[in-house]
Chains A and B, each alone.
Chain A
Amino acid sequence: MGSRALLMLTNFNFKTTVSSFGSASNPFFLIKNNLRTRNFSTKTRSSLQPPDLPGLAETARISLAPNEVEEFAPKIGQVIDWFGQLQAVDLDNVEPAIRADTEGDNLREDAPQTFENK
């Protein structure tokens, strides 16, 4: 995956960060570092704002007002901490499921079809 290549470029120790997601002591500090090293834009960030929210908002193409950032940051932080509990689960050798169903026969015949040349 391209993301892994990026991580190698930035000399980022993935394992450390993963193990810290579960910890209560300010995981965002480490996430902040992670994003800074991978951030190639020239935009400066205020050190008062939680750094990941503006970056995410830019990726998601939603402009956030400062009061929204203030309002969302703790809530999103809380939920993402809660997501972190999945780190503790032993998931070795478990196949990821793209969706629930096991039917995979929804492809049409591999036969050429002629369409109108519009």
Chain B
Amino acid sequence: MLSTIQPPRYLSRFPLRGRTKSRSFHILSSAQPVTKTCFAADQSQILSIRDSLLNRHLSAVELTHSYLDRLKQTEPHINCFLHVSDPDKVLKQAQDIDDKIKRNEEVGPLAGVLVAIKDNICTADMPSTGGSYILEGYRPPFDATAVKRLKDLGAIVVGKTNLDEFGMGSTTEASAFKVTANPWDLSRVPGGSSGGSAASVSARQCVVSLGSDTGGSVRQPASFCGVVGLKPTYGRVSRFGLMAYASSLDVIGCFGSSVADTGILLHAISGHDSLDATSSKREVPDFTSQFTYASSLKSRPLEGLRVGLIRETVDAGVDSGVKSAIEGAAAHLEQLGCVLKEVSLLSFSLGLPAYYILASSESSSNLSRYDGVRYGNQASSDELNALYEESRAKGFGSEVKMRILMGTYALSAGYYDAYYKRAQQVRTIIRKSFKAALDENDILISPAAPSAAYKIGEKKNDPLAMYAGDIMTVNVNLAGLPALVLPCGFVEGGAVGLPVGLQIIGAAFDEEKLVKVGHIFEQTLEGYNFVPPLVTDVGGASPEL
């Protein structure tokens, strides 16, 4: 199951002349066409698709049919999507790609790749509700920058996925519209808030998807659903078009079934955007040039890499099954040549209350724009304040209301210094402690969550129990660092076990190292199959070639 060796230029932003390039690498490639239903996690679907399309092994229309059929068969079980694109439109886009290829015209590096977008990211031609009644039916007049970049590179947006309302939650149960199920066990949650995006990649309804990560909302669902989730450094990806939850913490992140795909997707959407004042002007290195494939790896490819295991994340309170999966992953890294040691981050536990203070406070401000006047549903009233109050009361769910109220409290006169300012000071302490740890280590590792996926309804009535599950992920948002989660093992539960993800944290803007380490890790990890039984049970219509 070797993947193609891809010259980095393939993934530049400018569409290449497909034919000449493909001829040269066709000789080198040994990629299997996608239709052999090779869903193994260590292959790059995106690169396989590109190879198959350009070599005419497969047409974009056939590929799209295959995914859409699987979507139709799995969707009633897992309910990932709030809006699925009109199949005719999607097939027409696929047909256009096929026509271009036939005419030997350039197609973008993501041509034919089906992408799902979390519903708090604006898409001009589809409803974007943020998972909330207050924006039910709302169609933004613009595409988010990340979406625009994907479309420019030829990706096909297959639909908008379910989420916790406005990103507030860790299970996707707080959506106003539906509850998404985990493809590994339909009685369990997919995680949140990007549960729909994670589950749709896990169930192979699409190739890759976009989510957002404010306190772990990409990494925790990636762990629960057994897929790869990548949170970039704050400022790496433009937030223009992402419905703001906590502006100092939000980022757009990527899901894929392999580290390679996730890295390719991140590369496609990264870069400075003048429409986002917090987007970084730093060069975006080609993350994908770090890929070395299993066949060409030497025996200890990560020789000398200093890895720090965060002690506080494998202490009491973490499921024993998760601990042993992480220990297994750490042992695997040592086999690859890493130098492993334990690192203690003393301020670690402070991150959770600090995060919730900052997030609630910023969200109370950011969600004040949903007033029933500018956009969204409006309650009828004769008086302006009553109009605001009724529209918001009817439009928001209870988790959102609670967080707005907590945020209003923490920011109100007399409490600002006690809560918000102190939380910001804690943020400084956490930033410094991570920076010190990353000066001494190349990467830090931890579990992505203290347990595997919970049962649906288990955490609904206890907010603190729900918040406690974010302990592994929030500090990374406070420090603004990048992190990658990839499946590393299983715990008991469901039909065949529940996946567990390893979180790898890097220094600011060092996504390249994360993708490199993750790619080598997954290529060399043996004995695990991270395709949920739902996908193999459903069969999926793989077109005959």
Does chain B have a CB within 8 A of A111?
no
Contact of B281 among A56, A62, A72, A105 (CB under 8 A): A105
Mask, A50-73, CB within 8 Å of B = 1, is 001100110111111100100110
Contacting residues, chain B, for A12 (C-beta < 8 A): 414
Contacts of A96 in B (CB 8 A): 421, 424-425, 427-428
B425 in complex: contacting residue of A1, A57, A94, CB < 8 Å: A94
Report B344 CB to chain A, min CB distance, Å.
Answer: 17
By beta carbon, the residue of chain B nearest A65 is: B393
B188-196, B310-318, B405-413, B445-453: which lies at the interface = B405-413
Whether, in the assembled complex, B390 has its beta carbon less than 8 Å from a beta carbon of chain A, the answer is yes
The interface stretch among B85-93, B99-107, B394-402, B520-528 is B394-402
Taking a contact as CB atoms closer than 8 A, the residue among B405, B416, B422, B480 that contacts A53 in the complex is B405
CA distance A59 to B353 in the complex (A): 23
Q: With A61-B371, A63-B389, A101-B480 in contact, is A79–B414 under 8 Å at CB? A: no
- Report A113 CB to chain B, min CB distance, Å: 14
Q: Is the interface of B mostly helix, strand, loop or mixed?
A: helix
User: Cβ of B154 < 8 Å from any Cβ of A?
Assistant: no
The interface residues of chain A lying within 8 Å CB-to-CB of B477 are: 100
Q: Which residue of A lies closest to B276 (CB)?
A: A106
Distance (Å) between the CB of A40 and the closest chain B CB? Answer: 12
Determine the residue in chain A with the shortest Cβ distance to B247: A99
Interface residues of A in 3-58 (CB under 8 A from B): 3, 6-7, 12, 14, 17-18, 21, 34, 38, 52-53, 56-57
For residue B364, which residue of chain A has the nearest CB? A60
**Chain A residues, CB < 8 A from B401:** 62, 64, 68, 72
Q: Which residues of B contact A65 (CB under 8 A)?
A: 393
Which residues in B have their C-beta under 8 angstroms from that of A78? 463-464
Report the Cα distance A81→B431, complex, angstroms: 25
The tally of CB-CB contacts under 8 A between chains A and B is 156
Q: How far, in angstroms, from A59 to B385 measured CA to CA in the complex?
A: 10
Please indicate the chain B residues that have their CB under 8 angstroms from the CB of A34 in the complex. 414
CB-CB < 8 A to B424: which residues of A? Answer: 96-98
The B-contacting residues of A in range 69-100, CB under 8 angstroms, are 71-72, 75-76, 78-80, 82-83, 85-87, 89, 91, 94-100
Number of A interface residues, CB 8 Å?
49
Q: What's the dominant secondary structure at chain A's contact region? A: helix
Contact-residue bracket for chain B: 35 or more
Query: Would you call B405 and A56 a contact (CB within 8 A)?
Result: yes
Which residue of chain A is the closest to B418 with respect to CB atoms? A18
Decide if B353 touches A82 in the complex (CB within 8 Å): yes
Inter-chain contact A95/B393, CB cutoff 8 Å: no
A63–B393 touching, CB < 8 Å: yes
Instruction: Tell me the minimal C-beta distance from B454 to chain A in angstroms.
Output: 18
Whether A116 sits at the interface, judged by CB under 8 Å, is: no
Does A7 contact B414, Cβ atoms closer than 8 Å? yes
Q: A112 within 8 Å of B by Cβ?
A: no
Q: Are B405 and A1 in contact (CB under 8 A)?
A: no
Q: Pick the contact of A83: B235, B278, B357, B414 (CB < 8 A).
A: B357
Are the CB atoms of A82 and B464 closer together than 8 Å?
Answer: yes
Contact among A38, A75, A91 for B414, CB-based, below 8 A: A38
Q: Are B405 and A57 in contact (CB under 8 A)?
A: yes
User: Is B284 interfacial (CB 8 A cutoff)?
Assistant: no
Contact with A along B366-399 (1 / 0, CB 8 A): 0010010000000000000110111011001010
- B165, chain A: closest CB distance, angstroms: 14
Interface 1/0 per residue, B199-231 and A, CB below 8 Å? 000000000000000000000000000000000
| B124 contacts chain A at the CB level, 8 A cutoff | no
Having A38-B414, A63-B390, A100-B427, one finds 4 other A-B pairs with CB under 8 Å, namely A64-B401, A79-B467, A89-B350, A100-B479
A-B contact pairs, 5 of them (CB 8 A): A12-B414, A63-B390, A68-B401, A89-B422, A100-B479
Chain A to chain B: the 6 pairs with minimum beta-carbon distance, closest first:
A100-B480, A3-B413, A96-B424, A99-B248, A63-B389, A61-B388
Residues of A at the B interface (CB closer than 8 Å) are 1-3, 6-7, 12, 14, 17-18, 21, 34, 38, 52-53, 56-57, 59-65, 68, 71-72, 75-76, 78-80, 82-83, 85-87, 89, 91, 94-101, 103, 105-106
